[in-house]
Structure 1
Amino acid sequence: MSEHNSSVLNDAGILPLEGASVVIIYTEWNEFIINELMSGCDRILEKHNIKDVTKIQVPGAVEIPFAIKQYWEQTKGTGVQPSAFISLGCVIRGETPHFDYVCKAVTEGVLQLNLSLPVPTIFGVLTVNNIEQANERLGGVHGHKGEEAALAALKMMSFQRQLALGKR
């Protein structure tokens, strides 16, 4: 991990999370970038002994919120609902306004779920102008956004457990 953004990249505040489960929803687009985001996520989740990880691929970023909502609804009452969702994708600016629409839709969709579901929904979708900016976020000068997404999920799951124990 690089030296930048150390407040995000540290493990402070992460409780032991026995029995926690994470669902990673990731996109088909920009596969080499997504694979590296996933690898970063996997490293952090393994380091913290999160063994129950489900990975679901969707066509594109706009489909991420739908997949999360459907997964939540289909697992309701089964005892196997996840402790957190992590969304991973990469939207690269092109020559049309499509980039803006996709970024707005996925951002607002994940935000709505983060506010409406009782578990954290982490936004790990890169929205970049070019491949170089994506690479800078895969362990370059801007850190590793896959690792950061996993750390955010762990910290939010810990936050929820602290609240449940009456600690703030």
Structure 2
Amino acid sequence: MAVKGIGQVDKKYDGSNLRIGILHARWNKKIIDSLVSGAIQKLIELGVKESNIIIESVPGSFELPFGSKLFFEKQQKKQQPLDAIIPIGVLIKGSTMHFEYICESTTQQLMKLNFDLNIPVIFGVLTCLTEEQAEARAGLIEGKMHNHGEDWGAAAVEMATKFGV
């Protein structure tokens, strides 16, 4: 596989046999909805059947790590295992240290889940200084940035097909 540039791989991955879970926070609904839509769009583009994209929600980004673990276990009990999970959240800095604590703990625990669950857990949490930055990264401000949800969908398919366990 020839690498074209940073972040661009010369291969299209086939997600037709994958079951992908998306677990999203409910805070910052407009931004979250756009990110989830971007992830779904990319998953479908890469062959994941719409019926194999399972979506659940949790109150906020802090709940994503534990929610992802429970989501994974729920699907296992139903004998419908997931091949990857995309936890999606948005954290926007305020005037207190709350942002730093939530960012750090959420990031660490989501990373740990990759090893605990033995499936790819894609880091789909925007950590932004302003709401405008978050909207740009969700593709809501034309010409500013693209929808990062699409990147997360692509990463889930690549990781699950390349290293599926």
TM-score range for the pair, normalised by the shorter chain length: 0.7 to 0.9
Distance in 2 of aligned mates of 1:138 and 1:105? 23
In structure 1, the residue matched to 2:13 is 15
Q: Map 1:148-167; keep pairs closer than 5 Å.
A: 148-161=151-164
Question: Is 1:143 matched with 2:141?
Answer: no
In structure 2, the residue matched to 1:3 is none
Cα displacement (A) at 1:135? 2.1
Name the aligned partner's letter for residue 45 of structure 1: L
In structure 1, the residue matched to 2:33 is 35
**TM-score between both structures, scaled by the size of structure 2:** 0.86
Greater shift in the superposed pair: 65-74 or 23-32: 65-74
Kindly tell me: are residues 66 and 17 of structure 1, through their superposed partners in 2, closer, same or farther at Cα, counting changes over 3 Å?
Answer: same
Cα displacement (A) at 1:48? 1.6
Greater shift in the superposed pair: 121-130 or 140-149: 140-149
Cα displacement (A) at 1:78? 4.3
What is the RMSD computed on CA atoms of the aligned residues?
1.9
Question: Is 1:26 matched with 2:19?
Answer: no
Cα displacement (A) at 1:7? 4.1
Distance in 2 of aligned mates of 1:67 and 1:158? 24
Distance in 2 of aligned mates of 1:152 and 1:48? 11
Classify the secondary structure of the residue corresponding to 2:123: strand
In structure 2, the residue matched to 1:104 is 104
- Size of the aligned set, in residue pairs, is 156
Name the aligned partner's letter for residue 151 of structure 1: A
Distance in 2 of aligned mates of 1:25 and 1:146? 12
Cα displacement (A) at 1:76? 3.0
Distance in 2 of aligned mates of 1:108 and 1:127? 14
List runs of 5+ in structure 1 lacking aligned partners.
Answer: 1-5
Distance in 1 of aligned mates of 2:109 and 2:38? 23
Name the aligned partner's letter for residue 21 of structure 1: R
Identity %: 32
Distance in 1 of aligned mates of 2:71 and 2:145? 31
Check whether the contact 1:137–1:145 (CA below 8 A) recurs between aligned residues: yes
Distance in 1 of aligned mates of 2:42 and 2:163? 19
Cα displacement (A) at 1:137? 1.0
**TM-score between both structures, scaled by the size of structure 1:** 0.84
